[in-house]
C-alpha cells in the first residue's frame, strides 16, 4: 500500500461525534477537529485520497463537502439528523456503521485501503467496518477515559464504564495505535495493556502558513484594539473545568493583589465557548471573575477562525494553559509558532508541546499562586519572555503538519504490513474489574528532545535558539 502506486491510497477517516467543519473551541469541537482537518489536507498533499465520515446534524450541509483537493467530508445519517448529546451517541453507532457500509458499497466498487478512526466512539465503528472490508484499522484516541477520570475537576462527571470498555476493545483489535506523545503511549500500555509493538508516536503538527510571528505584537494589538502597554495573559480553549480557566482567573486575582500597578494594565482574553460540564453552569466562570475582583480585566470572546486566532496569539504576552488533562495541546504549539511563550500545567502531552524554561514554563499542579508567580516573572522580565518567544518559533518550525502526515503514512504502511502477515488481533481481554478510574502517575519531563520509544515514529528534535522576531 503506497501513495506512489498507480491507484492512490484511499483512507476512510472516522469522526463520529464531531465534524471537522465545526468551529474549534465550541461544543465538542477542539484540537481533534484541527488535527483531522490538517492531517487530512496534508495526507492529500502527499497523494492520498481522504474521505472524512461524520454524522449528519441537520446543519443544511450537503452530503459531501470538499475540504481541500483530495479531501471530502461526508455526512452520514445515524440517529436523528440533529445535534445529540455525547452521552447518547453510543446508541447511534450501529446506524453509523450501516450507513458507512452502504455508502462505500455505492461508490462504484472502489474500496478503502484503510480506516483511521478518531476517539473511542469512532473506534467502535472502525472495528465493525474493517472486519467487513478486510482492511486494517488505525486508531488515534485523542483522549483516554482512564486518564481523564484520574484528573477530574470539581463538578466534573467521570467517564462512564461503557467508554472504558470501548477503549479496551479498540486497543485489543486495531492494527496500529497512534499516540500523540510518548506519555500517551505509556498510558496505553499501563492502563489498557496495549502491546508496545503496535504503538506509534506521531506528534501533531502546526499550520505554519497561518501561525507565524507576522508583523509582531504591536501590529496585532492594533488589529484587535488592545492597549500597547497592557500585560496580556491569554486563554484559548473550550470553557470547561478540565481546561482550568478557573485556575487562570484565580491566578490573575493573586497577581493583582501582589502587584496592583501591574493589575491596572491587565487584559485577560478568554477565547472559546462553553463545553462539557461547563454547559451545566454557564455563569460560573463569570461569577468567579466578579467574586475575585477581576471582572474588569477578563474579556470573554467567542471562538474565532484560525486567521483571527493567530492575531490573538501574537498580541498576547503569554498563553496560559492550566489544563487538568491534555493529550497534547495544539494551541500551545500554535502560540509558540506565533512567537508567544506558554505557561502550562505539567500534565499529559504539554511537556512535549512546551519546552520547559526554553519556550515556556511548566507548573506542577493547579495552585493559582504558582501560576501567578510565573506570570509575575514574565511580566517583570520581558526580555526573558521575548527570548522564549523566539525559541518557540524555532521549536514549532520543526513540527509542520506535512511532517506529521509523512510519518502517519509510514504508520499506514506498518498497518498494511501487519494485516498482510495475517495478524488477527490480540486475544480479547476482559476489561479489568474493580475501580475504573485508576490513579495515573505524574507525567515525565520530556523537555522536547528527540528520543526513541519502541516502534515509534518520532519528530526531529529542534535545535532551539534565539532567532529574531518582530515585536
Give the residue among 75, 118, 117 at the shortest CA–CA distance from 96.
75
> According to the annotation, is 406 in a ligand binding site?
no
- Please write down the long-range contacts of 357-361, taking CB distance under 8 Å and 24 or more positions apart: 358/388, 358/391, 358/395, 358/448, 358/464, 359/388, 359/391, 359/392, 359/395, 359/448, 359/464, 360/318, 360/332, 360/336, 360/388, 360/392
> According to the annotation, is 334 in a ligand binding site?
yes
> According to the annotation, is 326 in a ligand binding site?
yes
> According to the annotation, is 29 in a ligand binding site?
yes
For residue 336 the three cell numbers come to 509558540
Instruction: Answer for the pair 265, 227: CB distance below 8 angstroms, yes or no.
Output: yes
For residue 102 the three cell numbers come to 452502504
> According to the annotation, is 412 in a ligand binding site?
no
Give the residue among 345, 340, 368 at the shortest CA–CA distance from 258.
368
> According to the annotation, is 17 in a ligand binding site?
yes
Instruction: Answer for the pair 471, 218: CB distance below 8 angstroms, yes or no.
Output: yes
> Going by C-beta distance under 8 Å and a sequence separation of 6 or more, which residues neighbour residue 158?
148, 149, 152, 436, 437
Q: What is the DSSP letter of 148?
A: H
> According to the annotation, is 86 in a ligand binding site?
yes
3-state secondary structure of 200: strand
> According to the annotation, is 398 in a ligand binding site?
no
> According to the annotation, is 148 in a ligand binding site?
no
> According to the annotation, is 210 in a ligand binding site?
no
> According to the annotation, is 23 in a ligand binding site?
yes
3-state secondary structure of 153: coil
> According to the annotation, is 214 in a ligand binding site?
no
Q: What is the DSSP letter of 131?
A: H
> According to the annotation, is 447 in a ligand binding site?
no
Q: What is the DSSP letter of 328?
A: S
> According to the annotation, is 340 in a ligand binding site?
yes
Q: What distance in Å separates the CA atoms of residue 246 and residue 117, rounded to the nearest whole number?
A: 33
Q: What distance in Å separates the CA atoms of residue 155 and residue 278, rounded to the nearest whole number?
A: 9
> According to the annotation, is 313 in a ligand binding site?
yes
> According to the annotation, is 124 in a ligand binding site?
no
> According to the annotation, is 332 in a ligand binding site?
no
> According to the annotation, is 314 in a ligand binding site?
yes
3-state secondary structure of 237: coil
> According to the annotation, is 316 in a ligand binding site?
yes
> According to the annotation, is 304 in a ligand binding site?
yes
What does each C-alpha distance from 198 to 49, 118, 177, 195, 440 come to in angstroms?
A: 24, 16, 6, 6, 22
Helix axis angle for 182-192 and 161-173, nearest 10°, is 100
Annotated binding site: 17, 23-24, 28-33, 86, 119, 143, 163, 238, 243, 304, 313-314, 316, 326, 334, 340
Q: Which residues are annotated as a binding site for Mg(2+)?
A: 313-314, 316, 340
* Residue ranges of the binding site for 1D-myo-inositol 3-phosphate: 17, 28-33, 86, 119, 143, 163
Residues contributing to the annotated binding site for UDP-N-acetyl-alpha-D-glucosamine: 23-24, 31, 238, 243, 304, 326, 334
Amino acid at each position: 500500500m503506497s501513495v506512489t502506486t498507480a491507484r492512490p491510497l484511499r483512507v476512510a477517516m472516522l469522526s463520529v461525534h464531531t465534524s471537522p467543519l465545526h468551529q474549534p473551541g465550541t461544543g465538542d469541537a477542539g484540537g481533534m477537529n484541527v488535527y483531522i482537518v490538517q492531517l487530512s489536507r496534508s495526507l492529500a498533499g502527499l497523494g492520498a485520497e481522504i474521505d472524512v465520515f461524520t454524522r449528519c446534524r441537520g446543519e443544511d450541509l450537503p452530503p459531501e463537502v470538499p475540504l481541500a483537493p483530495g479531501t471530502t467530508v461526508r455526512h452520514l445519517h445515524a440517529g436523528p439528523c440533529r445535534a445529540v448529546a455525547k452521552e447518547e451517541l453510543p446508541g447511534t453507532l450501529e446506524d453509523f456503521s450501516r450507513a458507512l457500509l452502504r455508502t462505500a458499497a455505492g461508490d462504484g466498487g472502489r474500496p478503502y485501503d484503510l480506516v483511521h478512526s478518531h476517539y473511542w466512539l469512532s473506534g467502535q465503528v472502525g472495528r465493525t467496518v474493517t472486519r467487513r472490508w478486510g482492511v486494517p484499522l488505525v486508531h488515534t484516541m485523542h483522549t483516554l477515559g482512564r486518564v481523564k477520570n484520574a484528573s477530574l475537576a470539581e463538578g466534573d462527571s467521570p467517564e462512564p464504564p461503557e467508554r472504558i470498555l470501548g477503549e479496551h476493545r479498540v486497543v485489543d483489535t486495531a492494527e496500529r495505535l497512534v499516540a500523540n506523545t510518548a506519555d500517551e503511549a505509556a498510558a496505553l500500555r499501563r492502563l489498557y495493556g496495549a502491546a508496545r509493538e503496535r504503538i506509534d508516536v506521531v506528534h501533531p503538527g502546526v499550520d505554519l502558513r497561518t501561525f507565524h510571528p507576522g508583523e509582531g505584537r504591536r501590529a496585532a494589538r492594533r488589529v484587535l484594539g488592545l492597549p500597547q502597554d497592557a500585560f496580556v495573559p491569554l486563554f484559548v480553549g473550550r470553557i470547561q473545568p478540565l481546561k482550568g480557566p478557573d485556575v487562570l482567573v484565580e491566578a490573575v486575582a493573586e497577581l493583582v493583589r501582589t502587584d496592583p500597578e501591574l493589575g491596572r494594565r491587565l487584559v485577560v482574553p478568554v477565547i472559546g465557548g462553553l463545553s462539557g460540564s461547563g454547559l451545566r453552569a454557564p455563569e460560573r466562570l463569570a461569577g468567579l471573575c466578579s467574586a475575585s475582583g477581576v471582572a474588569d480585566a477578563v474579556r470573554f470572546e467567542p471562538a474565532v477562525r484560525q486567521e483571527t486566532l493567530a492575531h490573538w496569539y501574537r498580541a498576547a504576552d503569554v498563553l496560559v494553559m492550566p489544563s487538568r488533562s491534555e493529550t497534547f495541546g495544539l494551541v500551545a504549539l500554535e502560540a509558540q509558532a506565533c512567537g508567544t511563550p506558554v505557561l502550562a500545567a505539567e500534565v499529559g502531552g504539554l511537556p512535549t508541546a512546551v519546552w520547559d524554561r526554553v519556550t515556556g514554563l511548566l507548573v506542577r499542579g493547579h495552585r493559582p499562586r504558582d501560576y501567578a508567580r510565573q506570570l509575575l516573572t514574565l511580566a517583570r522580565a520581558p526580555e526573558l519572555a521575548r527570548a522564549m518567544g523566539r525559541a518557540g518559533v524555532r521549536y514549532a518550525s520543526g513540527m509542520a503538519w506535512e511532517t506529521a502526515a509523512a510519518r502517519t503514512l509510514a504508520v499506514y504502511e506498518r498497518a498494511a504490513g501487519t494485516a498482510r502477515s495475517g495478524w488477527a488481533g490480540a486475544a480479547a481481554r476482559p476489561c479489568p474489574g474493580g475501580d475504573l478510574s485508576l490513579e495515573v502517575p505524574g507525567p515525565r519531563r520530556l523537555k522536547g528532545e528527540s528520543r526513541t520509544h519502541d516502534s515509534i515514529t518520532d519528530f526531529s528534535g529542534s535545535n532551539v535558539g534565539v532567532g529574531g522576531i518582530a515585536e
